[in-house]
Amino acid sequence: MNPRSAKSNKTLSSDSLVHPISGVTPFTTIDFPNRLAAVFYAQGCPWRCRYCFNSHLWPLQEGKFDFDSDEIQKFLSLRQGFLDGIVFSGGEPTLHPQLASWMQRVKEMGYEVGLHTSGMFPERLEEVLPLCDWVGMDLKAPFDHYERITQVERSGESACKSVSMIVKSGVDYEFRTTVHPLLLSEEDLLQMGRELSSLGAECFVLQEFRRSGCNDDELCNERLPALFISRSVHEALGHLFKTFFLRHE
What's the CATH code of the domain at 227? 3.20.20.70
Residue pair 205/245 in contact (Cβ under 8 Å)? The answer is: yes
Listed in order, strand segments (DSSP E) in 159-199 are 172-179
- Specify the pairing of strand 21-28 against strand 172-179: unpaired
Reduced to 3 DSSP states, what percent helix, strand and coil does the chain have, rounded to the nearest 5? Answer: 35, 20, 45
Number of domain units in the chain: 1
pLDDT tens digits in sequence order for the chain, 249 residues long: 344 333 333 332 333 344 578 889 999 999 999 999 999 999 999 999 999 988 888 887 765 555 677 888 899 999 999 999 999 999 999 999 989 999 999 999 999 999 999 999 999 999 999 999 999 999 999 999 999 999 999 999 999 999 999 999 999 999 999 999 999 999 999 999 999 999 999 999 999 999 988 989 999 999 998 888 999 999 999 999 999 999 986
Helix (H, G, I), strand (E, B) or coil at 171: coil
Is residue 5 assigned to a domain?
A: no
Which domain range does residue 158 map to? 10-247
Helices vs. strands in the chain: H and E counts, helices first: 8, 10
